[in-house]
A and B are shown apart, each in its own frame.
Chain A
């Protein structure tokens, strides 16, 4: 029988930050509860009925007192609010150099895939001291990725990508739970997060590779589904050139612009007419809904990412702006497919750095945001 802990493991930066806030709030709650209990007991005893005929005088109330006991607790609550919001904000915005790992949830398992092609089920291996970003999709119902030792959870919602990120601090094995009820085996949809020393992790990662990187898998799918007949790379096809597309701002036929991120790619595969690039026509591309799994889409996305430029900044530029969406806009340094271990060593470098990119040979060509050109004529 495993030993009983009164406190959960804390194995990530987010957990340490959480616990300080947590114990502050617990302390406030205990003080407040004690005050109320003490008040109730004190008054109940001190003013207990001593004779059946006593009639206490009415005390109407006191606006001053009412304001006092509204404002003071509210000020304390504001400390809860601001502290909690600041921490939440931080936990919602992955750093640009976070290592990307994909998670696909389905009834009732967690499928994890690394850009280099390593796959695991109900296991997630991460290195210590490195920001890790999970991009998560669900194949069926809502699940929730919950690692108590990190004090983090994020729902995994079908039809969209949800992200979470963390920096693990302590090697070890930690529970991974599904926290959103998802059907029969909900309580069996559990696994382990293994936090490893960096060296161990890199060894583990290279030894595990299977059928090639996600990008190369994606490239195969890209060919199989015939995407390459319209999405040409060296000339204008019937559909937008995808080279350099990822992470850029795209002008749409209705005048809006969107950032070509994972969500946009996913939507364009499943519902191509939703956002037509300016200068292109509707109904050229059929939907691939039902033909591709979430994993296929993630591999295609990795492939398209790998077509992205060496980051030079042209596509993302400053309009992506305050990068509120986190890593999306300008994050592409690490989006380039391929060897995680390379990036592992380079993470401290500045992002704009040409990473050897297998697929994107001619770096110069797609420099201009393709779609913007025809769009400009509108």
Chain B
């Protein structure tokens, strides 16, 4: 591979300016450019999903349904869910940071299948167009969960375009996962043994396993929904001989592991951030790596905890409850190890580290409330209420979005070659943290009080907490808007970043910022462990060329 490399030493040519014109982007097979394409696309979807959320929070400031009709409100939360989950969270870290970093972290010039990588972006876009079509035509109102028989028989909205969109986007996810798995297996640089891989790669590897093994199941499920909706084949609707609970089993068999598709990459990012900004190898490397795999495996065995009140066998419920506690153990291991990494470290409060702090705290709350939901009798009361809404937003937003923002700040200098304004960035991290807690903290209380989710209008005694939540959402929106502005600003005016502004370890920091098209001028050889911050392998010189 290295023989084909053009020598770019000291050349300002990088992946961003190597070629130009829209064709050079839309037909690129460079994993870094594809990552940027994804970054732009998911940002658009994030904005759209955020807009839906804003409108919902506006409606919910008063108990009466006075701003929108019930149908409109139902479409808002459905499209918020579909857009945020399938078109933002699932591709977020894997398709942007993962795409950008994995080849560099393993010392390769690209992913194993660069064209398939581009194909996956196109599939994502085609899926997204279908979803947008559903929205433009008039929306969908099934909830992102597409529960039957409502979705197959009763809903009069544009279910099919949305289902087809999610179906297609699923293949994008499968192909990305496949690409990562093969890349990690086959493209590691000489000397880069499994035990030397960055923890981000470990977590992305675990994520990819879930994407490849789980996503086909949701594809099948959605295909069956289409079959029943279009051709009245009785699969899920009991009126034509189907079983609505079967749908939930099939749906959650994917969608619970999908929760780990959404959080594992975030955990990988946090492992990198905590190590770098403590200037120390993460505590318990092998336990953090192993826990990612444990989560991937156990995550497939807990889907039934979404169904404790459906009437599924109570013995099945007990097994699912027990396994749900078991899957919490590897998550807890990670939290403890991140905290322990700072012990006797050299901690600096740069913006990415602030997001990591936020992640650890908020993910802990999300995880602990998850344990409450795994408790059978407790789940019966708070499931399908705002308690669940708060819980999964603590994991998905407090966890994943914080990790995504932390990672974006951390690798922004590598991706763009520019620094963002640090003071603004720290301020935004703080605003986001405050706004987030104000938005979703009160929802835990609403859930315990008994406010069901997906309610357009609600009982008047729930109003004070809803007003707090909406107020928090407006702060949160500011917290998101600030980075959006200064990231754009930094593209032109940001200080030039050096190759390694953080003093971080890892192969991606040993190439230029932004990196050349094929990442390295020479294939790097790895001679030491990852995160060798105190240079234990100094004498062997574990660096490029």
Q: How far is the CB of B468 from chain A (nearest CB, A)?
A: 11
3 residue pairs, one from A and one from B, having the closest CB atoms: A148-B450, A159-B238, A84-B375
Bound state CA distance, A84 and B378, in angstroms?
Answer: 7
| A107 part of interface (Cβ distance < 8 Å) | yes
Considering the complex, which residues of chain A in the window 44-65 have a beta carbon less than 8 Å from any beta carbon of chain B? 44, 47-50, 54-62, 65
Provided the pairs A88-B376, A180-B147 are in contact, do residues A152 and B381 lie with their beta carbons within 8 angstroms? yes
Task: List residues of chain A with CB within 8 A of the CB of B113.
Answer: none
Interface segment, one of B183-191, B329-337, B506-514:
B329-337
| B37 part of interface (Cβ distance < 8 Å) | no
Provided the pairs A56-B280, A84-B375 are in contact, do residues A148 and B381 lie with their beta carbons within 8 angstroms? yes
Task: List residues of chain A with CB within 8 A of the CB of B74.
Answer: 181, 183-184, 186
Bound state CA distance, A50 and B345, in angstroms?
Answer: 11
A–B pairs, 16, beta carbons within 8 Å: A6-B445, A25-B378, A44-B347, A60-B281, A70-B333, A73-B329, A85-B318, A142-B147, A144-B384, A153-B309, A154-B380, A158-B239, A179-B452, A181-B74, A187-B457, A188-B70
| B211 part of interface (Cβ distance < 8 Å) | no
**Which among B238, B378, B536 has the highest number of chain A CB atoms within 10 Å?**
B378
Closest to B362 in A: A33
Q: How far is the CB of A69 from chain B (nearest CB, A)?
A: 5
B342 in contact with A47 (CB, 8 Å) = yes
| B480 part of interface (Cβ distance < 8 Å) | no
**Which among A32, A36, A60, A182 has the highest number of chain B CB atoms within 10 Å?**
A36
Interface segment, one of B131-139, B149-157, B174-182:
B149-157
| B374 part of interface (Cβ distance < 8 Å) | yes
| B328 part of interface (Cβ distance < 8 Å) | yes
Provided the pairs A18-B381, A187-B65 are in contact, do residues A70 and B329 lie with their beta carbons within 8 angstroms? yes
For the A-B complex with A47-B343, A56-B533, A88-B380 known, give 17 more contacts whose Cβ atoms are closer than 8 Å.
A18-B378, A25-B371, A25-B375, A26-B372, A29-B365, A29-B371, A47-B347, A48-B347, A60-B285, A83-B377, A85-B318, A92-B314, A141-B147, A152-B380, A153-B384, A159-B242, A180-B384
Interface segment, one of B25-33, B459-467, B516-524:
B459-467
| A81 part of interface (Cβ distance < 8 Å) | yes
Provided the pairs A47-B344, A54-B346 are in contact, do residues A187 and B458 lie with their beta carbons within 8 angstroms? yes
B377 in contact with A186 (CB, 8 Å) = no
B449 in contact with A157 (CB, 8 Å) = no
Considering the complex, which residues of chain B in the window 360-389 have a beta carbon less than 8 Å from any beta carbon of chain A? 360-361, 364-365, 368-369, 371-372, 374-381, 383-385
Binary contact track B427-463/A, C-beta < 8 Å → 1, others 0: 0000000000000000001001110111111111101
Task: List residues of chain A with CB within 8 A of the CB of B150.
Answer: 141-142, 181-183
Task: List residues of chain A with CB within 8 A of the CB of B141.
Answer: 183-184
Contact for A4 among B333, B458, B461, CB less than 8 A: B461
Task: List residues of chain B with CB within 8 A of the CB of A48.
Answer: 346-349
Binary contact track B300-317/A, C-beta < 8 Å → 1, others 0: 000000001111001001
**Which among B242, B347, B458 has the highest number of chain A CB atoms within 10 Å?**
B347
List A residues at the B interface (Cβ < 8 Å): 1-8, 17-18, 21-22, 25-26, 28-29, 32-33, 36-37, 39-40, 43-44, 47-50, 54-62, 65-66, 69-70, 73-74, 77-78, 80-81, 83-89, 91-92, 107, 140-142, 144, 146, 148-149, 151-155, 157-160, 162, 175, 177-188, 190, 289
Closest to A271 in B: B241
A58 in contact with B536 (CB, 8 Å) = yes
Interface size on B, residues (CB 8 A): 98
Contact for B339 among A17, A22, A36, A148, CB less than 8 A: A36
B283 in contact with A85 (CB, 8 Å) = no
Contact for B281 among A49, A58, A157, CB less than 8 A: A58
Q: How far is the CB of A190 from chain B (nearest CB, A)?
A: 8
Closest to B287 in A: A66
Contact for B456 among A39, A77, A157, A187, CB less than 8 A: A187
Bound state CA distance, A80 and B244, in angstroms?
Answer: 30
| B2 part of interface (Cβ distance < 8 Å) | no
Task: List residues of chain B with CB within 8 A of the CB of A17.
Answer: 377
Bound state CA distance, A44 and B357, in angstroms?
Answer: 9
| B543 part of interface (Cβ distance < 8 Å) | no
B371 in contact with A77 (CB, 8 Å) = yes
Contact for B309 among A22, A37, A154, CB less than 8 A: A154
Bound state CA distance, A81 and B337, in angstroms?
Answer: 25
| B322 part of interface (Cβ distance < 8 Å) | yes
B449 in contact with A59 (CB, 8 Å) = no
Task: List residues of chain A with CB within 8 A of the CB of B286.
Answer: 61
